[in-house]
Amino acid sequence: MEQSSVDEAAAAETVRRRRVGVLLVVALLAYVIDLGSKLLVVARLEGHQPIGVLGDVVTLQVIRNAGAAFGMGQAMTIVFTMIAAAVIVVIWRIARRLYSLPWAIALGLLLGGAFGNLTDRIFRSPGVFRGHVVDFISVQHFAVFNLADSAIVCGGILVVLLSFRGSNPDGSTHQTTKAGPAE
């Protein structure tokens, strides 16, 4: 192998490792902020009246959610646990060929949020893999959610935007081909 090829391969591996590092740092920050916020609101707000942040539009109140977003699927907690675990595995597999910084951030947000809610599903009552997620940010006429949910939504939006821009996790771009005239 030529020296320039070896140097290029080494440089590419360095970039990949840095991107995986960014993914892990973003995931860890999202996870720690979510976990800390849940510990704080459970200790300080559970069993108390909601606290208005923006009048009645945004309030803080502890809700234990057995289901998915918007309280759907209350009887499917184990399914949501398995989905979160699958998301973590998929992100780990994608990370092996991750060269894009925006994708690293998006996947880090998804990973941190998935770990945040998975932690609740594993360690909170009523039991292992059936635990209820702690939600506490209530938006009038919308939903009650937590910071892990926010990280997942922000990561998901970023993934959609990156996909629409033609960006791939490996740093390449995809192009749509224009169909020629019908024959």
Q: How does pLDDT run across 160-172, given as a tens digit for each residue? A: 999 999 999 998 9
Give the residue numbers annotated as catalytic, written as ranges: 135, 149
Q: Give per-residue pLDDT as tens, 84-133.
A: 889 999 999 999 899 999 999 999 999 999 999 999 999 999 888 788 99
pLDDT of residue 69: 60
Indicate if the pLDDT at residue 2 is higher than 90: no
User: Would you state the structure tokens that stand for residue 71, as one six-digit string?
Assistant: 């309280």
Sorted by where each begins, the domain ranges of the chain are 12-164
Is the pTM here over 0.85, yes or no?
yes
Higher pLDDT, 42 or 131: 42
The mean predicted confidence, pLDDT, of the chain is 89
pLDDT of residue 177: 43
C-alpha angle with apex 124: 119 to 127, nearest 5 degrees? 110
CA distances (Å), origin 9, targets 3, 14, 37, 101: 10, 9, 42, 18
Q: At which residue do the structure tokens 């919308």 appear?
A: 142
Cα 181 from Cα 91, distance rounded (Å):
40
Cα 109 from Cα 158, distance rounded (Å):
9
pLDDT of residue 72: 63
CA distances (Å), origin 108, targets 13, 21, 82: 19, 10, 19
Please state the separation of Cα 23 from the chain's center in Å: 11
Q: At which residue do the structure tokens 């399914």 appear?
A: 79
Higher pLDDT, 6 or 69: 6
